[in-house]
Amino acid sequence: MESRMLDALDRDLVHALQLDGRAPFSKIAEVLGVSDQTIARRYRRLRTAGTLRVVGAIDGGRLGLVSWAIRLRATPDAAGAIATALARRPDTYWVHLLSGGTEITCGTRTRTLEERDDLLLQKLPRTGRVSSVTAHAILHLFVGGTIGWSGLRSLSPEQAERLRPDLPEPDDEPVDLSEADHALLGALSVDGRAGHAELAAVTGWSESTVRRRMDQLRRAGVLFYDIDTPSEVFGHHVEARLWVSVQPSKLAAVGEAMAGHPEVAFAGATTGPTNLMVAVTCRDPNHLYRYLTEQVGSLDGVRDVETAPVIRTLKRAGATLLR
């Protein structure tokens, strides 16, 4: 990945794609007041450098999936290998090494109790040198998933409105996915802007069927598009995970307040001894200190905060970063 930071046009492009990951370059160019070729060239450069990726993601709740945040503690000599093994698993979508290399956190989704127990009760506890495993179900998202990180926003409200797609129309009807659907979603998870011809080759469908099915899944709230970009390109070089204990009657208010903080890339209400998990990105340690003491500490209802710095990211947005 290039170490350079994003300039103003890069940031506008990232925000535009956060709003609609498959927006035509011509439409983005019109809103930003530049040429189609400029937008296409900028996107290719950022994509090639590993600075920007559009991800086709699923709303697990629409498919009956439960998201889990897992914390493991292990001996320093084993934590790296365990984190690497977790990053290689197809059922994890983010993996971080924390706290001086002795703690791992990862995210997974399960549909059945058997799937959950297979990972949490069978595989992980039997892994050598793991001293503890805890799992917290994510009950509600304040930031993350379909709710974009406010730290990416750079467009004016008028520009954002021109790019924002129509909201999906989900209902309570279950959505059943075929093998071809899974192939489609798998390809989009690698490249959310993959062309219809490429997706047709993966699924065995015609291009018109691919286009129609993508529209159906998006309207149903199953498929949405997210942005995968490292925080360093925004000048944020310190990441941390917070486990926050909030007075239950104040949880919604605290979560919604943190959703507006540009430092917060993810915040979700969870089960467990703490009830709010937060992913924070800051410029440097002093910025993190000020954020914890001045912003988090001033929120009414916050009882306790546990902070763990991220020392290495092995998987992000479903893509392994292992070399």
Token readout for 144 is 């993350």
Least confident of 101-110, 293-302, 314-323: 314-323
Percent of the chain exceeding pLDDT 70 equals 93
Q: What is the pLDDT of residues 187-208, one digit of tens each?
A: 999 999 999 999 999 999 999 9
Gap between the Cα atoms of 230 and 237, Å rounded: 9
Q: What is the DSSP letter of 49?
A: T
Gap between the Cα atoms of 18 and 225, Å rounded: 7
Cα 193 from chain centre: 17
Please report where in the chains the tokens 């997706």 appear, as a residue. Answer: 199
State residue 119's pLDDT score.
Answer: 60
**DSSP annotation string for 190-259:** H-TT--HHHHHHHHS--HHHHHHHHHHHHHTTSEEEEEE--GGGGT--EEEEEEEEE-GGGHHHHHHHHH
Least confident of 107-121, 149-163, 288-302: 107-121
Token readout for 150 is 């406010």
State residue 2's pLDDT score.
Answer: 43
Beta carbons within 8 Å of 161's beta carbon, 6+ residues apart: none
Percent of the chain exceeding pLDDT 90 equals 69
